A and B are shown apart, each in its own frame.
Chain A
């Protein structure tokens, strides 16, 4: 069980997240939605232990994760927003490094890496340096690094960015399979359709505050609309059609 209890994070005097509370049970796939600057990344960083909350705690199985971060991270698989990898390592070398640092046994590690590279269609490029990889390939390397030690908690921050259609489909099915396996999945994304499809529950943030938290079905029923329309209604006060029209007007403006 992973719990966020009254999480608050302030940068200087600016609040990024305020009084955020939720809990996740095994098998639950919790989607986190919100516009830019709503506090999604800060929440993710507090859940991974990269950031210490100004107030409140993150608890895993009843223990504050900050008390023993190393033990907590043994259970954690994390895919960050940016694929910031070492460009001079090859894909295989990077995964082997991460496996070793996670303390995985060598023969098991190599077999797993090979199989996962094969499944994610990266095996032919395994000995090419990451510097030469496309964004999607780097993202797949990150996904493999997150899942290869079979952790209990998965935190995905925009995991689909740059993935091709096939890999994205594989990944969506993988997330559902992880939920069925009893893993905890925290899924942060801008892509509403994916969240609607793969998540059992949704958390919607706006300006660092939770404005809705329920199952996907219940959220949709609030206004009797799709998740996208509900999200727009809850989060944005902007008339998107009118903004689009204004953009076209500005595009057509001639220099003075």
Chain B
């Protein structure tokens, strides 16, 4: 009986899914996950399963880490007994809400191009006997499915594990169930809000801007959204505490932070909300409803303005802009880019960094992170300082150029690995000398030209104004030296032209590299300024940095010398690491 019913359901589903509308929905879902945009370029196609696993992981990991905080034995060891878990949970609940919003918002930004039907969809679907209205609704259903899937996936693990961890001290199942439901509703609503907020931005831009201007500004807007998301993630340290301390009416900044609304909603349902949280909780559900309505309206207008008119837009020829001859370019050619290879490839790399959307997005995200870290460092520097000079000579302020430098160099090194359009690299394969060994010097020049001049100028001027010639020269010199050494280290055995090689395969030492980067950051942007801060009072101590610099210079130098010729050849394809390799001695 049950089998027959199931078979009937499956048969009907099969029948229904073959209808044109549902075929389009399936097509759009696949498109959202597996590729948008107009080109066939190989993007970061990780596969649906892996993407969903990666999205679900942060919530799960963080829940497990919280065992340390909520475990009864550890609480007993710390002497914190008889705590109200529903009150203690506030910062962690806020963290999960922010995490959920950040991850979902990041997905929306990542799939920005694929959410909306594009030229390819137009060329394939519009000439068929289907109305543009059907295409609109099919894409809308696909988007709603995506929202549901992401909201579920991002929060599913934490919705089970986090209540289990918090409820470890409670004997009643009802506590766990209630907590889990409230948490799940809070984080899912936050996810939905974040997705539709990004979607509204996209839709509003499409509705307001002409198509060409939208395409132009799209990358910048995405960058701003990414910076906002990174900044939101950084609020997890300070916001819960300041919400807890606030008495009286809710401060105005909390009304601008949707993450606070959802935290307030959860705490109100748990009956642990003060007046501030009660006031904020009233904004959560109307906020979600408003953002969904705005998103859908903007989507409809944007669809009408952009998708339905794609043929007209594509046929309008753009007005060519006159290329400007840059004096800076001429100067660079004379001073730094001596060979034709360097002159040509430097311009290629430079233009790719500034024009390729994927590369700009990664750089903006890391730029956002450095902005947040710099703001934090500045705040810490001025918190206990009595004068400008004292603040600027503190470890926190001294660390700012090191933070920017480290993240700038690492982000450029990282984006060099992301290919731009591999089908186009034939020209380099054809023209470049495989044994030229010019890629590493080129990459070094690109990194240093993009990171150092403005950073050194600002650092020097700021310290000249606040701390005098001596400190300004010393600090700038140290930042410059450290930047050169770090660039040398990150370019060890670099033998590809940026953006022209396939994505690196996962290697066993990838985790070690990741840990090294974190350790390197501590050494570079925390320990160095600490040492410098103490050494500025006794400048002779600076000599202590010379052996460190010498080691940092010698390692890449030695490795470069010991590299065999075959490993110096220019590559366009990363080969996977083979576990077993035949020596073929007989050949």
Interface of A toward B, CB cutoff 8 Å: 11-12, 16, 41-42, 45, 48-51, 69-71, 73-74, 76, 78, 80, 82, 84-89, 97-98, 100-103, 106, 131
Q: How far is the CA of A79 from the CA of B31 in the complex (A)?
A: 22
- Partner among A16, A70, A85 whose Cβ is within 8 Å of the Cβ of B129: A70
Asked whether B40 lies within 8 Å of A16 as measured between CB atoms, the reply is no
Please report the C-alpha to C-alpha distance between residue A106 and residue B130 in the assembled complex, in whole angstroms: 18
- Select B315's contact among A45, A85, A86, A97, beta carbons within 8 Å: A45
15 A-B residue contacts at CB 8 Å? A45-B311, A45-B315, A49-B127, A50-B126, A51-B312, A69-B131, A73-B127, A73-B130, A76-B127, A80-B123, A97-B27, A98-B128, A100-B20, A101-B129, A101-B130
* Contacting pair A97 B35 (CB below 8 A): no
A88 adjacent to B30 (CB under 8 Å): yes
Query: A82 is contacted by which of B20, B30, B123 (Cβ under 8 Å)?
Result: B123
B518 nearest CB across to chain A (Å)? 35
Q: Which residues of B contact A74 (CB under 8 A)?
A: 129
Top-4 shortest CB links A-B? A74-B129, A50-B311, A73-B129, A88-B34
The one of B23, B119, B127 in contact with A100, judged by C-beta atoms closer than 8 angstroms, is B23
> B126 touching A101 by the CB < 8 A rule?
no
A106, B128: Cβ atoms closer than 8 Å: no
The answer, among B19, B31, B316, for a CB contact under 8 Å with A86, is: B31
Besides the known contacts A11-B315, A45-B315, 18 further A-B residue pairs in the complex with CB atoms under 8 A apart: A11-B316, A16-B315, A42-B315, A50-B122, A51-B315, A73-B129, A74-B129, A76-B127, A86-B31, A86-B35, A86-B120, A88-B35, A88-B45, A97-B27, A98-B124, A98-B128, A101-B20, A101-B130
Shortest distance between the CB of B239 and any CB in chain A (Å): 41
Chain A residues contacting B316 (CB-CB under 8 Å) are 11-12
Q: How far is the CA of A240 from the CA of B134 in the complex (A)?
A: 50
Q: Which residues in A have their C-beta under 8 angstroms from that of B129?
A: 70-71, 73-74, 101-103
Closest to A80 in B: B123
Contacting pair A87 B40 (CB below 8 A): yes
Q: Is the CB of B34 within 8 A of A100?
A: no
Give the chain A neighbours of B31 by CB distance below 8 A: 86
CB of A129, distance to nearest CB on chain B (Å):
10
A187 to chain B, nearest CB (A): 16
Q: How far is the CB of B400 from chain A (nearest CB, A)?
A: 44
Alpha-carbon distance A30/B30, docked complex (angstroms): 39
Residues on A with beta carbons closer than 8 Å to the beta carbon of B27:
86, 97
Which residues of the partner chain B approach A86 to less than 8 Å between Cβ atoms? Answer: 27, 31, 35, 120, 124
B337 adjacent to chain A (CB < 8 Å): no
* Contact between chains at A11 and B128 (CB < 8 Å): no
Complex CA–CA separation, A131 to B41 (angstroms): 9
**Cβ of A70 and Cβ of B130 under 8 Å apart?**
yes
User: Judging by beta carbons under 8 Å apart, are B127 and A48 in contact?
Assistant: yes
Contacts of A45 in B (CB 8 A): 311, 315
Q: Roughly how many angstroms separate A45 CA and B309 CA in the complex, as a whole number?
A: 12
Interface class of chain A by DSSP: mixed
- A69's nearest neighbour on chain B, judged by CB, is B131
Expressed in whole angstroms, the minimum distance between the Cβ of A47 and any Cβ of chain B is: 11
A253 to B515, CA, bound (A): 56
User: Which B residues have a C-beta under 8 Å from some C-beta of A?
Assistant: 18-20, 23-24, 27, 30-31, 34-35, 38, 40, 45, 119-120, 122-131, 311-312, 315-317
CB-CB under 8 A for A84 and B124, given A11-B315, A100-B18, A101-B23: yes
**B131: A residues at CB distance < 8 A:** 69-70
User: Would you call B315 and A41 a contact (CB within 8 A)?
Assistant: yes
- Inter-chain contacts of B123 with A (CB < 8 A): 80, 82, 84
Minimum C-beta distance from A105 to chain B (A): 10
CB of A133 to closest CB in B, whole Å? 10
Give the docked Cα–Cα distance between A108 and B315 (Å): 37
Which of chain B's residues have a CB closer than 8 A to the CB of A103?
A: 20, 129
Docked pose: A73 CA to B134 CA in angstroms = 15
Complex CA distance for A89 and B18, rounded to whole angstroms: 16
A85–chain B nearest beta-carbon distance, Å: 7
Q: Please indicate the chain A residues that have their CB under 8 angstroms from the CB of B312 in the complex.
A: 11, 51
Which of A16, A76, A86 has the largest number of chain B CB atoms within 10 A? Answer: A86
Bound CA–CA A4/B104 (angstroms): 50
Residues of B within 8 A of A106 (CB): 18
User: Shortest CB–CB separation between residue B121 and chain A, in angstroms?
Assistant: 9
Interface centre among A45, A78, A100 (most CB of B within 10 A): A100
Cβ of A97: which chain B residues have Cβ within 8 Å of it? Answer: 23, 27
| Chain A: CB-nearest residue to B312 | A51
Query: CB-nearest residue of chain A relative to B19?
Result: A100
Q: A11-B312, A12-B316, A106-B18 are in contact. Are A85 and B124 (CB under 8 A)?
A: yes
In the complex, A57 Cα to B127 Cα: how many Å? 18
* CB-CB under 8 A for A131 and B40, given A11-B316, A86-B31, A101-B23: yes
Least CB separation from A48: chain B residue: B127
Nearest A residue to B39, CB-CB: A87
Pick the residue among B35, B125, B315, B317 that contacts A87 (CB under 8 A).
B35
What is the minimal beta-carbon distance from B136 to any residue of chain A, in angstroms?
A: 14
Q: How far is the CA of A51 from the CA of B122 in the complex (A)?
A: 12
Chain A minimum-CB-distance residue to B15: A106
Residues of B within 8 A of A131 (CB): 40
Best-buried of B119, B312, B316, B317 by chain A (most CB within 10 Å): B312
Q: Which residues of chain A are within 8 angstroms of B34 by Cβ–Cβ distance?
A: 88
B343 to chain A, nearest CB (A): 14
Cα of A49 to Cα of B127 in the assembled complex, Å: 8
Within the complex, what minimum Cβ distance (angstroms) separates B117 from chain A?
A: 12
Residues of A close to B40: CB separation below 8 A: 87, 131
Question: How far, in Å, is A195 (CB) from chain B's closest CB?
Answer: 23
Contacts of B120 in A (CB 8 A): 84-86
Q: Which residues on the A side are within 8 Å of B23 (C-beta)?
A: 97, 100-101
Instruction: Tell me how far the C-beta of B317 lies from the nearest C-beta in chain A, rounded to whole angstroms.
Output: 8
Collect the chain A residues with CB atoms within 8 Å of residue B45's CB. 88
- Taking a contact as CB atoms under 8 Å apart, the answer to whether A51 and B20 are in contact is no
Contact (Cβ within 8 A) B24 A101: yes
Does B311 lie within 8 Å of A102, measured CB to CB? no
Q: Within the complex, which residue of B24, B119, B130, B311 is in contact with A51, where a contact is CB–CB below 8 Å?
A: B311
Chain A residues with Cβ below 8 Å from B311 are 45, 50-51
